[in-house]
């Protein structure tokens, strides 16, 4: 997917908003009205550029024949993707990792959140986090000691309690006697915090 220009982004956003609002895509004239253009050809050229770059598809000849490609990344309001514990490198929300989407009211857990993570393993069992549970993950770097974080150490993604023991030493603590602490020295090992848990859902 090539780079998008600021104006093209505005047009793309406009299409998304229009679809969310009305349920069907805009015409060239609609886009002009929304963005203040005075000629339908302004919209037309932007649409053709977006199509060429792969952001949208246009059904030729059909009225309102615009559809947005990769809608799972710009997820609809209230639709949250469920992702598995994925290996590093691949972006967490890439469509190939999305198991399905779950309809959930915004602010369901008091705090905003970005996606659900499907839990593997029992390392957080004593915190009441069981296999196959869905953790509501908020992508943030604002972590306090004791928070349950989704951390990536080199190639592995895990869910653990966060504790900073020294400026450069972080302990990732499981909630299960059978597992042991992970000590991370930030000078030696790369640690990336994907976000923290703000809630949990169990389906059974």
Q: Which residues are catalytic?
A: 123, 160
CA angle, residues 50, 74, 9, in degrees to nearest 5 = 35
Q: Which stretch binds DNA (CB under 7 A): 44-52, 71-79, 82-90, 133-141?
A: 44-52
Q: Which does 29 bind (CB under 5 to 8 A by kind): a copy of itself, DNA, none?
A: DNA
C-alpha of 145 from chain center: 24
DSSP 8-state symbol, 88:
S
Q: What stretch of H or E contains 46? A: helix 40-52
Q: Which of 16, 42, 140, 176 binds DNA (CB under 7 A)?
A: 42
Contact pick of 5, 41, 65, 183 for a copy of itself (by CB under 8 A): 65
60 binds DNA, rule: CB under 7 A: yes
Q: How many CB atoms lie within 10 A of CB 98?
A: 19
Would you count residue 192 as binding a copy of itself (CB under 8 A)? Answer: no
> Residue 89 interacts with a copy of itself (CB under 8 A)?
no
* Per-residue x/- track, 97-136, a copy of itself (CB under 8 A): -----xxxx--xxx--------------xxxxxx--x---
Cβ-based nearer residue to DNA, 40 or 199: 40
From the list 64, 118, 120, 164, which residue makes contact with a copy of itself (rule: CB under 8 A)?
64
Report the alpha-carbon distance of residue 136 to residue 115 in Å, rounded. Answer: 6
Q: Does 204 participate in binding a copy of itself (rule CB under 8 A)?
A: yes
- Report whether 88 contacts 152 (CB < 8 A): yes
Q: Is-contact 65 13, C-beta < 8 A?
A: no
Neighbouring residues of 13: CB distance < 8 A, sequence distance ≥ 6 = none
**Taking CB under 8 A as the criterion, which residues in 21-50 touch a copy of itself?**
22-25, 27
3-state secondary structure of 51: helix
CB distance 117 to 85 below 8 Å: yes
173 lies in the binding site for DNA (CB under 7 A): no
- Going by C-beta distance under 8 Å and a sequence separation of 6 or more, which residues neighbour residue 134? 82, 102, 116, 117, 118, 119, 200, 201, 202, 203
# residues near DNA by CB under 7 A:
29
- Binding interface with DNA (CB under 7 A): 5-8, 27-30, 32, 36-46, 49, 58, 60-66
- Binding interface with a copy of itself (CB under 8 A): 22-25, 27, 57, 59, 62-68, 73, 78, 102-105, 108-110, 125-130, 133, 197-204
């Amino acid at each position: 997917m090539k780079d998008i220009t600021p104006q093209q982004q505005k047009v793309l956003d406009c299409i998304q908003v229009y679809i969310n609002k009305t349920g069907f895509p805009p015409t060239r004239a609609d886009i002009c009205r929304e963005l203040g253009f005075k000629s339908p050809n302004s919209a037309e050229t932007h649409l053709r550029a977006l199509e060429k770059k792969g952001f949208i598809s246009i059904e030729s000849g059909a009225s309102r024949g615009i559809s947005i490609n990769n809608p799972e990344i710009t997820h609809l309001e209230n639709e949250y993707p469920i992702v598995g514990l994925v290996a590093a490198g691949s972006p967490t929300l890439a469509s190939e990792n999305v198991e399905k989407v779950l309809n959930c009211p915004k602010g369901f857990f008091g705090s905003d959140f970005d996606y659900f993570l499907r839990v593997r393993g029992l390392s957080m069992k004593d915190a009441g986090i069981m296999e196959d549970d869905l953790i509501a993950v908020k992508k943030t770097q604002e972590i306090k000691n004791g928070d349950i974080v989704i951390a990536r150490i080199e190639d592995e993604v895990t869910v653990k309690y966060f504790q900073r023991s020294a400026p450069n030493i972080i302990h990732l603590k499981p909630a299960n006697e059978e597992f042991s602490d992970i000590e991370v020295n930030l000078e030696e090992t790369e640690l990336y915090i994907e976000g923290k848990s703000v809630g949990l859902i169990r389906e059974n």
